[in-house]
Structure 1
Amino acid sequence: MTANNYSGLCIGVTGLNANDNPGPGVAVIRALKEGLGAGLRIIGLSYESLEPGIYMHDMVDKTYSIPYPTEGTAALFERLTYINDKEQLNFIIPNFDAELHNFIKLAPQLQQIGIRTFLPSIEQLMLRDKVNLYDFGQKNGFHVPTDHKLYAADDVQKATEELGFPVVVKGKFYEAYIAHNKEAVIKAFNQLAATWGYPVIAQQYIKGTEINIAALGDGDGNNNSIVPMRKLYITDKGKAWAGVTIEDAALIALADKFAKATNWRGGYELEIMRDADDKLFILEINPRFPAWIYLTAAAGQNQPLALVKMALGEKLNRFEEYQAGKLFIRHSWDQVVDIADFQRISALGEL
């Protein structure tokens, strides 16, 4: 397939969940369909039988279950080889933090069977890990809140003495809670440790305006696309349920500084807090597209489409403009399906 011929592409996409902590998969697919047209074939890759994207047949042509990340690379490669034999995948876009390590490790093997990816290296992935984020900020001149790694409930006392209240308590991969007393910290610690493992991160609370930046690094220290968004409505898990694109040179410069410091390859999201002194604190760096990624396409910079084109070897000029004032509002929708479909994906792993 040539770099400029995208007809008949078959792309696998993970992250088809759409609960109160939605995955990016459906938004990625929406952007790809808008950019690549009717000839595109989308293969859903799911972990759970109740991921709504499985049943969105206007978005996903066929879905296959894949093993949980904890089952390792061998099990994942075996399953992807089976899927590829049936579907002839050209490309896979993983959209969960926890699965990226396996996909990155498998990238050379996937390339050998004709499946391309466009992902950061393991080293890049670890640089921005929550456990390493503060040290990364200190080394590269970014403002990052002070944090403590919690491995046991006994660590809470020292962390709260230094960080004070309120304090943000974060899971290793997902979820964050603002705790206003020690008991709330311990409760969040126990819940997050049970769900995501250790360490749990206690992070200094920064008061200010929450901003997210979706960007696409080319792997050579540059960004192909940068779109900042200010959160307008936030869930109790800290997720944006509504947001608006904004124009701000300081935010663009911050994303460019990150790309230069890491040579990031692929999509990523910077979660920012702007305090009363206009200082930009990096709260998290997510190593994949955010759930609101369709907003980049709506604003004029279709990042999932650009990712696919870059992976296929096309040299793209950097997007220089996007529409500020584009607003997204997430909403709930009851996806009504036949129980036979649920039973089929649960029993056979295919739908």
Structure 2
Amino acid sequence: MNILFTSVGRRSYLVQYFKEALNGKGKIHVANSSELSPAFQVADYSVVTPLIYDKNYIPFLLDYCNQNSIAAIISLFDIDLPILAKNKSKFNEIGVNVIVSSEKTVNICNDKWRTYCFLKENDLKGPRTYLSLGEAAEDIKKGILKFPVMIKPRWGMGSIAVYEAENVNELNVFYDKVKRNIEKTYLKYEARKNMAQSVLIQEKLKGQEYGLDIINDLNGKYQTTIVKKKLAMRSGETDCAITVQNNALKKLGKKISSLLKNIGNLDVDVFTEDNDLFVLEMNARFGGGYPFSHMAGVNLPVAIIKWLSGEKTDKQILTEQNNILVQKDISLVRLSPKTDIQNTKKYHL
């Protein structure tokens, strides 16, 4: 069984997890729009693809899958998800299982405004959120919204262009700055759907932050929720966390699963404050917090391979140990690019 990871970037650990899960019964292929990817050094095979929004991106992947007997595709990048979800049937026709949630679910998760609306519609709580700078400013005057507030891209990821405003002047400055940042980065591709409403003003949540891995099988059937208490963050990702037993958060995970019918992992950030649960963000993919679940005994790669093979999974495969404290480390990887990097001005990783 050969598996292809798209937009693999620096997720070398996931490549290693799946290699171990395959146990020699298949190969791991990885793809990225730049060969400057540490995961290229870990995989069995690697390939540089066209950019995600290039018209040749999907044809390229289809051809690659045909030539390399790929059984399944897993994407690790939010911007990649809607493109793959939209073209899922094309891969199914050639026998490739794209492990991605439905277009509807992906769009709810990728669009933070739609996330907020989804939460309200289903009696779930999230931070007070605004698309209009004027409406946010008006509610600040009324005392409904209080500083500090967060200004961020509506379609954003990795804490890119996220700012915290302490007063009205900062709010106005950061609002304009986020718009400029969107136009200068790959976030512009998602934002072009509605550039005029591409920036959010959001209440800053306080309290303790948790990360949830909400796991469904390949048919969207609920399996479990893993709860991790976040102890440190770095560049928008969990840097240190401990697995905990929290029935309220597990119940929340099961409810979200029943509503979204996600495929595989759904990465969710939640704050607890005054005995209330506030959902901040949802990512319909393996998130940066999954390694903490894996280190606690959960093995989603093994489960996915068994599901792909039509085998039953032992409940123990997706059962975590509690009180497992883990912190990410920083390591260096020596790359072996085939292009002349010295004469290349810029890579978009």
Same fold at TM > 0.5:
yes
In 2, Cα distance between the equivalents of 1:183 and 1:27? Answer: 43
Conserved 8 A contact 2:15-2:39: no
In 2, Cα distance between the equivalents of 1:310 and 1:166? Answer: 46
Normalised by the length of structure 1, the TM-score is: 0.82
Q: Which has the higher contact order (CA 8 A, sep 6+)?
A: 1
Q: Which residue matches 2:347?
A: none
In 1, Cα distance between the equivalents of 2:323 and 2:339? Answer: 40
Q: Which amino acid aligns with 1:181?
A: N
Could you tell me which runs of 5 or more consecutive residues in structure 1 were left unpaired when the two chains were aligned: 1-8, 19-24, 347-351
Q: Which residue matches 1:214?
A: 213
Which of 122, 136, 155 is residue 118 of structure 2 equivalent to? 136
Q: Which residue matches 1:193?
A: 182
SS in 2 for 1:132: helix
Residues 299-348 of structure 1: CA deviation (Å, up to 9, x unaligned): 222123323332443343555731112222222222223454665xx8xx
Query: Shift in Å at residue 192 of structure 1?
Result: 4.1
In 1, Cα distance between the equivalents of 2:200 and 2:17? Answer: 33
Q: Which residue matches 2:26?
A: 40
SS in 1 for 2:14: helix
Q: Which one is further off, 121-130 or 255-264?
A: 121-130
Query: Shift in Å at residue 91 of structure 1?
Result: 0.9
Asked if 1:303 is matched to 2:300, the reply is yes
Conserved 8 A contact 1:27-1:292: no
Summarize the Cα distance change of 1:311–1:166 in structure 2 as closer, same or farther, 3 Å threshold: farther
Asked if 1:11 is matched to 2:3, the reply is yes
**Number of equivalent positions:** 322
Normalised by the length of structure 2, the TM-score is: 0.83
In 2, Cα distance between the equivalents of 1:328 and 1:191? Answer: 37
Query: Shift in Å at residue 207 of structure 1?
Result: 0.6
**Percent of matched pairs sharing the same residue:** 22
- How do 1:17-96 residues align onto structure 2 when only pairs under 5 Å count? 17-18=9-10, 25-54=11-40, 56=41, 59-72=42-55, 75-96=56-77
Which of 82, 85, 101 is residue 101 of structure 1 equivalent to? 82
In 2, Cα distance between the equivalents of 1:61 and 1:139? Answer: 45
Residues 19-70 of structure 1: CA deviation (Å, up to 9, x unaligned): xxxxxx323222212322234311111022322222x2xx211211222222
Summarize the Cα distance change of 1:333–1:130 in structure 2 as closer, same or farther, 3 Å threshold: same
In 1, Cα distance between the equivalents of 2:63 and 2:80? Answer: 19
Moved >6 Å (runs of 4+)? 153-156
Summarize the Cα distance change of 1:318–1:64 in structure 2 as closer, same or farther, 3 Å threshold: same
In 2, Cα distance between the equivalents of 1:221 and 1:287? Answer: 12
Could you tell me which runs of 5 or more consecutive residues in structure 2 were left unpaired when the two chains were aligned: 345-349
Kindly report the root-mean-square deviation, in angstroms, between the aligned alpha carbons of the 2 structures. 2.6
Conserved 8 A contact 1:229-1:243: yes
- How do 1:247-262 residues align onto structure 2 when only pairs under 5 Å count? 247-262=245-260
Q: Which one is further off, 316-325 or 283-292?
A: 316-325
